Amino acid sequence: MAGAVKEAATWEIRHERPEDAPLVEALNAESFGPGRYAKSAYRLREGVHAVAELSFVATEGGAFRGSVRFWPVTIGHEDVLLLGPLAVQSAERGRGIGIALMNRGIEEARRRGYGAIILVGDEPYYARVGFAKLPPGRVRFPGPVDPSRVLGLSLTPNALVSLSGEIRRAKIDDPVCADGAGLGG
């Protein structure tokens, strides 16, 4: 289910490139603040790289507007995607860019055969692209999480039905950073 686009889109959504990374990091720092590293969802990203083929940026006339990334996690024995961070530059919010970024990532994840996506966020917003609350307690995070903000989206029929258990990092790409040491702001 796609959200409504309120204006003719003058931005483009394309894969993130290495040179975009500083802009993405700066936007996430500005949007979520330093407290983001303490959040459960961030702890699942420590020492693990985002899925490169699912990292997208929005640009307009060459200017950076927003970003979405996805991380690989496991729930029980299932490989699942964790959506986020998603952020749009503050002056450009409310134009449909966030929904467009998510739709592009979801479409690409489906095309590549991923089964399900989960995230921690505001249900009224993410419901616009098909996310719904998971039953409380079904997925356990490595830290406190508001159960009403744990949302999921099946990309293949019933993919969420069998999901239950602890959510963990799917792998460690960078053991030096695995405990958070050396992670930049």
Ligand X SMILES: CC(C)(COP(=O)(O)OP(=O)(O)OC[C@H]1O[C@@H](n2cnc3c(N)ncnc32)[C@H](O)[C@@H]1OP(=O)(O)O)[C@@H](O)C(=O)NCCC(=O)NCCS
User: Based on CB atoms, which residue is closest to ligand X, 19 or 146?
Assistant: 146
Number of residues that bind ligand X (CB under 6 A): 16
| Alpha carbons 58 and 156: distance in angstroms, whole number | 27
| One residue of 31, 40, 59, 154 binding ligand X per CB under 6 A | 31
Q: Which of these segments, 43-51, 86-94, 105-113, 165-173, binds ligand X (CB under 6 A)?
A: 86-94
Q: Which of residues 123-162 bind ligand X (CB under 6 A)?
A: 124-125
User: Based on CB atoms, which residue is closest to ligand X, 10 or 113?
Assistant: 10
| One residue of 23, 48, 81, 87 binding ligand X per CB under 6 A | 87
> DSSP class of residue 138?
S
Query: Which tokens belong to 42?
Result: 């961030």
User: Based on CB atoms, which residue is closest to ligand X, 20 or 178?
Assistant: 20
| Alpha carbons 63 and 60: distance in angstroms, whole number | 5
- List the Cα angle 44/18/169 in 5-degree steps: 15
Binding mask of the shown chain, residues 99 to 118, with x at each position contacting ligand X by CB under 6 A = x-------------------
User: Does the N-terminal peptide bond of residue 147 adopt cis geometry, omega within 30 degrees of 0?
Assistant: no
- Site membership for ligand X, residue 82 (CB under 6 A): no
- Site membership for ligand X, residue 98 (CB under 6 A): yes
137 Ramachandran zone, left/alpha/beta (phi>0; psi -120 to 50): left
Query: What Å distances lie between residue 106 and 10, 15, 53, 171, CA to CA?
Result: 21, 13, 11, 22
Q: Closest separation between CB of residue 101 and ligand X, Å?
A: 8
Query: What does DSSP say about strands 139-140 and 165-169: parallel, antiparallel, or unpaired?
Result: parallel
| Alpha carbons 121 and 68: distance in angstroms, whole number | 14
| One residue of 88, 106, 117, 170 binding ligand X per CB under 6 A | 88
User: Based on CB atoms, which residue is closest to ligand X, 93 or 168?
Assistant: 93
Interacting residue ranges for ligand X, rule: CB under 6 A: 3, 31, 86-88, 93-99, 121-122, 124-125
